[in-house]
Amino acid sequence: MMKRERRPSWLPMMAAAATAAILSAQARAQTAIPVKIWAQELVDRTVAQHPDLRTITIYATPPKTNASLVLASNIGLIGTPANKADADVAASGKTRVVATANRRTAIELPLHDLAGLSVGTLALTWASPGAGGSTALEKKATAIRDDLSRHILNTANLLDPYPYVATATTRSRAQTLVDETFRRHPEVTVLALRLKVPPKNELVVVGSTFGRHGKPADGDDMKVLDAPAPIPGLYSNDRRFGVDLPVKDARGTAIGTMNVGYAYSGHEDRKALEAKAVALRDEVQARLAAIPAAEEIDP
């Protein structure tokens, strides 16, 4: 009779522990899928729009800290402290042009939010200065910086998860509507659309110029839904005039809210800006009526 080989008593225990570890890892993967931040999304968009760029880096000091770090880049190094020269660009507000050892040209500029307040440093690198020299590159870098600034509410906004809710659609039909409207109205500095979405009919961000897709409405947002009139306010250290308005369907039922913002210096006519916001809401509302399931992905 063949003698059966006896298994070590610890094998079942190890197998059970390994199985538990695998199941635990699977559970974590399902409930904690990593997401990137809004700053990285802005970097990724910029790289796609400017294939001649070699590197792009955003340095900023996260809220409640005192150290400038790499928040986003196309070359990694996330979390690396900024050197003094990089940090000084944001502090001084002056552009810095650097010719690197490998014959590349780097332009470093102060990065602003949409109200013009400093939020950090933007560093851009090209392989060579090209026909126009560093002056032409500096002009190009300024245009890139100004476009990014239109999509930054403040420093904290740069650190928002993107999407804000992991399951939210970031390329919805509503987002296409917001993007098209934002391009047609360069005087607008902020535009966000919240809609009631299935299955819970919850009011969430479905399209915006500053990310936060899927973010549930707070108490103030819910008040806008049933507001009889637009709700104006000042934001960004009184440099932005914002208006919150309800969005309705063809039957007059409130289906969402819209937030629109304009640059404000203290001299603008607030009533005129509010009237502009109402006209813009009406434009968006009319176009929205022709879009089925606006919260779903735009094919």
Structural domain includes residue 23:
no
In this structure, what token pair is assigned to residue 29? 């993967």
Task: For residue 28, tell me if it sits in a domain.
Answer: no
pLDDT of residue 134: 76
Return the bridge partners of 191, or none.
260
pLDDT band at 18 (very low <50, low <70, confident <90, very high): very low
Counted domains in the chain: 2
Residue at a domain's end among 120, 136, 158: 158
Least confident interval from 8-22, 174-188, 193-207, 241-255: 8-22
Domain holding 107, by residue range, is: 36-158
152 and 190 together in one domain: no
What pLDDT band is residue 131 in, cutting at 50, 70 and 90?
A: low
Supply the pTM of this predicted model.
Answer: 0.84
Q: Give the pLDDT of residue 224.
A: 96
Residue 62 sits in the same domain as residue 153 = yes
The domain boundary residue, chosen from 158, 175, 199 = 158
Query: Are 55 and 76 found together in one domain?
Result: yes
Q: Write down the pLDDT at residue 159.
A: 95
Q: Which residues of 175-209 are buried (b: 16+ CB within 10 A; e: fewer)?
A: bebbbebbeeeeebbbbbbbbbbeeeeebbbbbbb
CA distance 207 to 186: 17
> Which pLDDT does position 99 carry in this prediction?
78
Cα angle for residues 244, 249, 253 (degrees, 5° grid): 80
Q: Both 154 and 190 in a single domain? A: no
Show which of 115, 135, 158 is a domain's final residue. Answer: 158
Q: How many CA atoms lie within 13 A of 188 on its CB side?
A: 25
CA angle 46, 69, 121 (to 5 degrees): 50
Q: Does residue 16 have a pLDDT over 90?
A: no
Residues in the chain: 299
At residue 128, the 3 state secondary structure works out as coil
Q: Do 119 and 110 form a contact (C-beta atoms < 8 A)?
A: no
Q: Are residues 220 and 265 located together in one domain of the fold?
A: yes
Q: How confident is the model at residue 105 (pLDDT cuts 50, 70, 90)?
A: confident
pLDDT of residue 4: 41
- The average pLDDT across 141-166 equals 96
Same domain flag for 49 and 152: yes
Q: Is the pLDDT of residue 42 over 80?
A: yes
Give the percent of the chain with pLDDT over 90: 74
The DSSP-derived string for 190-238 is EEEEEEEETTTTEEEEEEESS--TTPBP-HHHHHHHT-SS-EEEEETTT
- In the DSSP assignment, the letter for residue 82 is P
How far apart CA 119 and CA 158 sit, in angstroms, is: 9
pLDDT of residue 76: 87
Sorting pLDDT into bands at 50, 70 and 90, what band is 294?
very high
Distances in Å between the Cα of 231 and the Cα atoms of 186, 244, 264, 288 are 22, 5, 16, 21
CB 264 within 8 A of CB 241: yes
Residue 13: pLDDT band (50, 70, 90) is very low
pLDDT exceeds 90 at position 5: no
Same domain, 180 and 101: no
CA pair distance 263, 241, nearest whole angstrom: 6
Q: Identify whether residues 171 and 258 lie together within a single domain.
A: yes
Burial of 132 (0-12, 13-18, 19+ CB in 10 A): exposed
The mean pLDDT value for 140-148 works out to: 96
Percent of the chain beyond pLDDT 70? Answer: 87
| pLDDT greater than 50 at residue 15 | no
The owner of tokens 């902020």 is 190
